[in-house]
Amino acid sequence: MFTPLNRVVMLAVTGGVASTGVLHWLTMRAPAWHDAPYALSWLSSPWLAAVLLVLTTASELIAVRLRHDDAVEELTLLDAVVLLNVLLLPATVAVYTTLAGLLAAYLLRRRAPIKVLFNLGTYASACSVTAVTIHVFAAGSGDFGVTLLVAVAAGATGFVAVNLVHIAWLLSVISGTAPLRVLREDAQLSALTMLGTVALTLTVLAMAASTPVLLPCAVLPALALTYSYRASAERHEEHRRSARVLEFSQVLASGPTRGLAAGAFLRLVSEEFQTDWAAVVLHDGTAFHLNAGDGEVQQMPARQLPSWLQQPAGSTGLRRSALPLGWGSALDAPLIAEGRHLGRVTLGARQRAALKDRDVTALSPLAGSLAVALRNAEQMEQLETETSKLRAVVEQSGDGIVVVDGAGVVQLWSPAMAQATGIAQHEALGRLLDAVLAGEDGDGAPVRPFSDALDRLTPATPGTLVDVHLVRSDGERRTLRLSHAAVFDDAGLVRDVIIARDLTTEWRIERMKGDFVATVTHELRTPLTPIKGYAELLRRKGDAIPQEKRTRALDVIIDRADHLGRLMEDLLLASDITARNEPQRAVVQGEADLVGLASRALEDFAASRDRLTFETDSEQLQVSCDPARVIQVTANLISNALKYSPADARVTVSVETLTGGGCIRVTDHGLGIPQSELERVFDKFHRVEDPMVMSTGGTGLGLYIARHLAEAMGGALTVQSTLGDGSTFTFRLPATALDPMAEMAPPAAAAAVSSPATA
């Protein structure tokens, strides 16, 4: 499949072959064209053809390269030599001599085949047109006069026109530029070049005809001009290269990644040294390469490169031997930074003369700059990796992390710290830690988290602990233990890294333990006092005590012993639930009438029957449960309601039918429970009251056990409360499988059965 560029090349070759064929046909039709338009008496035709062949090759090799933006043009004396070929040789011989000289030059310069084909096709057409034009205008004249002058001018015009059309056509395919635009832009320069070519050709021809000994005098000015202009162009190229190097240095100064640095370097050296291929091969097995044909920098494993590129070069230098077929020269430079060899740079060109010894001097500092950039990029990647690890630690740590400078100004404030203190990161950064974490110690004395630690921090003892009690903006109290790790230098404290552990839960647990010990001690002592007292009374007086008093004393002892038994049972049950997390082991599931169970629970509160109201929406409600545990839970709820309500406040116990079961509601009109405490009342040992001013007794285990027993029976225990109005505890239980009420909604019109509680 032909690409647009391939089609242009094939058409150029076809045009060249066709033009040469037409020239052959015209030569056979016109015998006069077998002779040269102008003959030199002192040099025979065979030797003349050889000399002109050498001149053609030399004129193509001796070129001045001019750069215009990203394009490069070459100025040579080839046009003048082509005109001499046409003037001094027969038409077809002139064309073949020109093509042979060009082919020799291209082989020496190792030009790409596609470029060779295009140029040979173009020059075949241009030389044929020039030969036809000159032979038409100067046919049979043989004199050096106006006719020959016109013929040379016309031939040069045809030569330039054909070349210009082909170049415009090629550029339109490569860059998309309109051919007419190229013709307009290059027409003036081509016309001026043509005039110089005609003048030089005629001057050389005149000297060759009249005074051949002066021929060097005609050629030397042109050569001198060529080489001086080449020197000027090279100086301009060096200045331009220095500017590009400066741009490259600015890219490197921006701290690019390895890929960006290598890409910028390869594009620079590929343009500056006009290489066909450039690669950066690193010792870690990574390679970056740029093919001038596609212009894209690619990254690949170094093992995928050609074998001659996988081994690092011994030193910087130019190579023109031991290269694969098709490569004319290569340039190597090591990448060394901080005494460490990172890899090497290799430039490759198909033309043998494309890379020169002086390019080594230009490439070495560029390679050094790249090596420094690669080393910096490597260190930056390592730094970013470590930073990301530290960031992950800071963001995911359960403990708060704070970093302050030597003056105590907050530089880092982790998310966990913000969550523990209620102080957002933007509120803490840039402020003094003492101002951000203003708090107290356990005795209520002010605590300065940084200053108090600074008094104890020294280079010999860079660590210390500071506990601080805080009140968050939402009113919640928190206790933090700040673990300081200071960093010192010769000038003093540089940085302090603080790990903040939230001890609030531990403090609460310790407080709960203390409260529990005090409560249990009180609860155990309370029943033991009458037991011991009545036991001693019975031992001292024995039968002297009246029977009625003795019976009452024994009843008190038994009642208090039962109370102790229930207390110990609660403690053991709570311990078993906590240890096993299997409250189901504490229940024996069956079924019973929920209305009857609630009534039996009320019988234990005969002394408070005037305060109790019992309501139900049905006379019987079968539920799945452990009857004994239902009575235990209900009794606990009633006991709490009476305990935490004023002495004259009523407590309502109601049994209600629900979809899929039923419930017992216990409603009091006490002080109520704060919203923040609604779920915590079901925690083990938790008491809503302040233990220092408790007005009621209890271990704080009742509701903890009650909820777990309710859940073990397949039910639930919840609470709703309004501070100052009272609370409602709802004890739900599932219906039995055979209960006809299991799928029924609460009766809308069922008459409520309401009565005072009876003993």
Q: In whole angstroms, how large is the CA radius of gyration of the chain?
A: 53
Q: What pLDDT, on a 0 to 100 scale, did the predictor assign at position 302?
A: 83
Among 529, 515, 518, residue whose Cα is nearest residue 688: 515
DSSP summary character for residue 652: E
Give the list of residues 6+ apart from residue 198 with CB closer than 8 angstroms, or none.
83, 152, 153, 156
**Amino acid identity, position 367:** A
pLDDT at 608 over 70: yes
Whole-number Cα distances in Å, 305 to 126, 301, 548: 42, 8, 112
Q: What is the pLDDT of residues 715-758, one digit of tens each?
A: 999 999 988 889 999 999 999 865 444 443 444 333 344 444 54
CATH 3.30.450.40 residue ranges of the chain are 255-384
* Tokens representing residue 525 in the block: 């002592």
In CATH, the architecture of 508-580 is: Orthogonal Bundle (1.10)
Q: What pLDDT, on a 0 to 100 scale, did the predictor assign at position 44?
A: 64
Fold of 398-496: Beta-Lactamase (3.30.450)
CB 482 within 8 A of CB 498: yes
> Phi/psi at 654 (nearest 5 deg)?
-130, 145
CATH of 255-384, one of 1.20.120.1200, 1.10.357.10, 3.30.450.40, 3.90.1530.10: 3.30.450.40
* Tokens representing residue 69 in the block: 């933006």
Q: Is 494 helix (H, G, I), strand (E, B) or coil?
A: strand
**d(C-alpha 37, C-alpha 134), whole Å:** 8
The interaxial angle of helices 215-253 and 358-396, nearest 10 deg, is 10
Q: What is the pLDDT of residues 464-512, one digit of tens each?
A: 999 998 888 888 888 889 999 999 998 889 999 999 988 877 777 777 6
Tell me how far apart the terminal alpha carbons of the chain are, to the nearest angstrom: 107
pTM attached to this predicted model: 0.42
Q: What pLDDT, on a 0 to 100 scale, did the predictor assign at position 191?
A: 79
Most confident of 131-135, 240-244, 316-320, 630-634: 630-634
**d(C-alpha 129, C-alpha 125), whole Å:** 6
Q: What pLDDT, on a 0 to 100 scale, did the predictor assign at position 594?
A: 94
pLDDT at 692 over 70: no
Pairing status of strand 651-658 against strand 661-667: antiparallel
Q: What is the pLDDT of residues 275-329, one digit of tens each?
A: 888 888 888 888 898 887 677 888 888 888 877 665 555 556 888 777 777 778 8
Q: Is 128 helix (H, G, I), strand (E, B) or coil?
A: helix
**d(C-alpha 282, C-alpha 335), whole Å:** 8
CATH 3.30.450.20 residue ranges of the chain are 398-496
CATH 3.30.565.10 residue ranges of the chain are 584-690+698-734
Which helix (H) or strand (E) segment holds residue 63: the answer is: none
**Amino acid identity, position 677:** E
Q: What is the pLDDT of residues 109-148, one digit of tens each?
A: 777 788 889 889 999 998 999 888 888 887 655 567 788 7
CB 429 within 8 A of CB 410: yes
612-616: strand order across its sheet:
716-722, 726-734, 661-667, 651-658, 612-616, 753-756
* Secondary structure E strands in 194-296: 277-282, 286-291
What's the 3-state SS for 605-641? Answer: HHHHHHHEEEEECCCCCEEEECHHHHHHHHHHHHHHH
Pairing status of strand 622-625 against strand 446-447: unpaired
Q: What pLDDT, on a 0 to 100 scale, did the predictor assign at position 232?
A: 61
Q: Is 386 helix (H, G, I), strand (E, B) or coil?
A: helix
Specify the CATH superfamily of domain 584-690+698-734. Histidine kinase-like ATPase, C-terminal domain (3.30.565.10)
